[in-house]
């Protein structure tokens, strides 16, 4: 799969096509493609906590919602599983919050061996980054990896404007930044890569409001200069959204924590086909998309 062709063709279709259930029934199911495709299961903003609901957020219900998603993922057999941030919600103590993390990660880790966690601001409300990463058995909060000819990048925007990492309520959630050190790492990583690239983030890189990364324009410039990035998947604002900027799809996914009952769930399966086309099948409240090669 050749990246320049992806961007050239993709730029002709700036607005992604939403997929209706009837179209999916006509042959667009993610379960039907070749073994050369890369299948990525995605969830975001679970906010698991053993505490009563607050507003529209039903913290305890994410356990059951994740169980429902895991049954679908068992059928679709993803190559990797990605959580786009805010896996847990805040607790009054480190001990309690580590308990939240252990509970939700036991179920999450049973879904797929190849798992990836994007740091969300709620993940480090009470914990340090090191404590969260140790709890999910990861070494770094930002890194890259390759699967079947596709390059994947996990970003961490949980830094204050002065470069201080988020931890233990030392931050304001609207002051989200990619650190200077991480930005330089990202530039070097993308320059050394020739493969089509997918980026995973928590805070949004496509908006300048309170849900956006404050230096998001700088990050977008690095992504665009690489001429390899196809799409960015992000969470944080809890609702479906899609923007196309500089030939890159910025796809915001629906939060699992929002609303009560199975009808308020949201999760997705992405399939990147050998010809460069990308299909995202959303379930329940998550929108579906088809991006041609």
Tell me the percentage of the chain whose pLDDT exceeds 90.
Answer: 87
Average pLDDT over residues 186-215: 97
Cβ atoms of residues 123 and 85 within 8 Å: yes
Cβ atoms of residues 43 and 104 within 8 Å: no
* Domains of the chain: residue spans and CATH: 3-291 (3.60.21.10)
Q: Which residue has the higher pLDDT, 27 or 207?
A: 207
**How many whole angstroms separate alpha carbon 98 and alpha carbon 268?**
27
**Tens-place pLDDT, residues 25-70:** 333 344 443 468 999 999 999 999 999 999 999 999 999 999 999 9
Q: Which residue, 193, 188, 119, is CA-closest to 149? A: 193
φ and ψ of 176, to 5 deg: -105, 135
* pTM for this prediction: 0.88
Confidence band (pLDDT; 50, 70, 90) for 293?
A: confident
**Tens-place pLDDT, residues 127-161:** 999 999 999 999 999 999 999 999 999 999 999 99
**Tens-place pLDDT, residues 262-281:** 999 999 999 999 998 999 99
Burial 249-280 (b: 16+ CB within 10 A, else e): bbbbbbbbbbbeeeebbbbbbbbbeeebbbbb
């Amino acid at each position: 799969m050749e990246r320049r062709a992806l961007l050239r063709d993709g730029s002709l279709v700036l607005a992604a096509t939403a997929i209706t259930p009837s179209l999916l029934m006509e042959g667009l199911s993610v379960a039907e493609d070749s073994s050369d495709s890369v299948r990525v299961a995605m969830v975001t903003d679970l906010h698991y906590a053993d505490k009563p609901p607050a507003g529209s957020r039903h913290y305890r219900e994410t356990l059951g919602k994740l169980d429902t998603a895991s049954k679908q993922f068992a059928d679709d057999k993803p190559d990797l599983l990605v959580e786009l941030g805010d896996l847990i919600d805040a607790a009054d103590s480190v001990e309690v919050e580590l308990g939240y993390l252990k509970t939700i990660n036991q179920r999450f880790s049973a879904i797929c061996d190849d798992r990836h966690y994007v740091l969300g601001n709620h993940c480090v409300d009470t914990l340090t980054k090191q404590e969260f990463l140790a709890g999910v058995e990861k070494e770094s909060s930002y890194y890259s990896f390759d699967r079947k000819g596709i390059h994947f990048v996990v970003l961490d925007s949980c830094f204050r404007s002065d470069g201080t990492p988020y931890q233990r309520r030392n931050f304001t959630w609207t002051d989200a930044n990619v650190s200077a050190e991480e930005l330089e790492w990202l530039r070097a990583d993308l320059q050394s890569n020739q493969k089509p690239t997918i980026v995973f983030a928590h805070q949004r890189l496509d908006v300048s409001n309170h849900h956006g990364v404050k230096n998001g324009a700088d990050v977008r410039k690095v992504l665009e200069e690489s001429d390899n990035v196809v799409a960015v998947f992000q969470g944080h604002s809890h609702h479906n959204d899609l923007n196309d900027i500089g030939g890159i799809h910025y796809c915001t996914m629906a939060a699992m924590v929002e609303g009560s009952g199975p009808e308020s769930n949201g999760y997705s399966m992405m399939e990147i086909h050998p010809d460069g086309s990308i299909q995202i099948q959303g379930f329940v409240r998550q929108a579906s998309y088809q991006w041609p090669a």
